[in-house]
Amino acid sequence: MSEDTILKVRDVYRTYDIKGGMFKKGSQLTAVKGVSFDVKRGSTLAVVGESGCGKSTLARMLTMIDAQTSGGIEIDGLPIDISKTGISKEMRQKVQIIFQNPYGSLNPRQKIGHVLKEPLLLNTDMPAEERRDLALQMLEKVGLQPEHYGRYPHMFSGGQRQRIAIARAIMMKPKLLVLDEPVSALDLSVQAQILNLLADLQDELGLTYVFISHDLSVVRYLADKVMVMYLGEVVEYGTRDEVFDNPQHDYTKTLFAATPKADVDSIRKRLAAKTA
């Protein structure tokens, strides 16, 4: 393995058992079927696909929420197989996740300061004062104010909440950040702010992103490499330009064709077709 590869995934499978009922036999659902890829340190891998394609299952395995059924995951040289070894604090520090819905991912009864300090409390021996200082620093880093420290989540807008979720994720100084549709619940102008923030943090902290999205325009904007998943399998994997300029698989082509085009030429073509 070269020094530069931070995430190495080899032939990973994940199978869920579906329980049978009185009249129905139990069955098995394979959500992820033999996925392999590498991610270079400091780069962004975008994972694209429709609902049910296994992209969120993949995110759950990378962030140690779920164990893989078989196959190998290696993060920063550390093999991950939580069904065998459990999770150590060291493993926790490597990866963090940001979810799609900033309304559902913050505890409504927890003040923001507490939200940010909690990962440190659980995973490090840092004294209380240091934790507080670090939380305040982090607020500033994601574009919020120190006075937000004592407020509750309901006092924030969706974009601000997503900033809080980002701050919480980077409190532990992770190497790898998994972002599960981080901007799809946000308005266009707020989306731009959050994407800018993510780009800044990547430069500053040398973060590696696994960015899960169904929005191809966002993917094209920020990805270094793109992986397209369909029904649990990887159907296309390459650099951004390779995938966007010359898609190989039929599903990728369908996906591109279905994406609304907002350029003047396509509008003109549509209007012409309508009047004809």
Partner 1 sequence: MSLLEIRNLKIEFDTAKGPFKALDGVDYTVDAGEVLAIVGESGSGKSVAMLAMMGLLPDSATITADKMDFEGLDLRALSAAERRKVIGKDISMIFQEPIASLNPCFTVGFQLSETLQTHTVLKSSEIKGRVIELMHSVGLPDPEGRFNAYPHQMSGGQCQRVMIAMAIACAPKLLIADEPTTALDVTIQKQILDLLVQLQQDSGMGLIMITHDMGVVAETADRVIVQYQGRKMEESGVLALFENPQSPYTKALLSALPENATGDRLPTVSDFAEAGGF
Chain contacts with partner 1 (rule: CB under 8 A): 50-51, 158, 187-193, 195-196, 199, 214-218, 220-222, 254-255, 257-264, 266-268, 270-271, 274
Tell me the sheet residues that pair with 210.
45, 178
Residues 6+ positions from 126 with CB-CB distance below 8 Å? 120, 134
Find, among 95, 119, 115, 128, the residue nearest to 164 by Cα: 115
For the bound state, the minimum distance from the C-beta of residue 221 to partner 1, rounded and expressed in Å, comes to: 4
Q: Cβ neighbours of residue 210 under 8 Å, at least 6 residues apart?
A: 7, 39, 44, 45, 47, 59, 62, 176, 177, 178, 179
Min CB(4)–partner 1 separation in Å: 23
For partner 1, the closer CB: 32 or 255: 255
What is the nearest approach in angstroms of partner 1 to the Cβ of residue 178? 20
The SS3 assignment for 58 reads helix
Using the minimum distance from each CB to partner 1, give the nearer residue, 48 or 169. Answer: 48
Minimum Å gap between C-beta 58 and partner 1 is 17
CB closer to partner 1, 74 vs 224: 224
Closest CB 198 distance from partner 1, rounded Å? 11
Q: Which is nearer to partner 1, 124 or 193 (CB)?
A: 193
Inter-residue contact 26 to 20 (CB < 8 Å)? yes
Hey, how many other C-beta atoms are within 10 angstroms of the C-beta on 230? 20
Q: Which is nearer to partner 1, 16 or 221 (CB)?
A: 221
- Number of neighbours of residue 250 by Cβ within 10 angstroms: 10
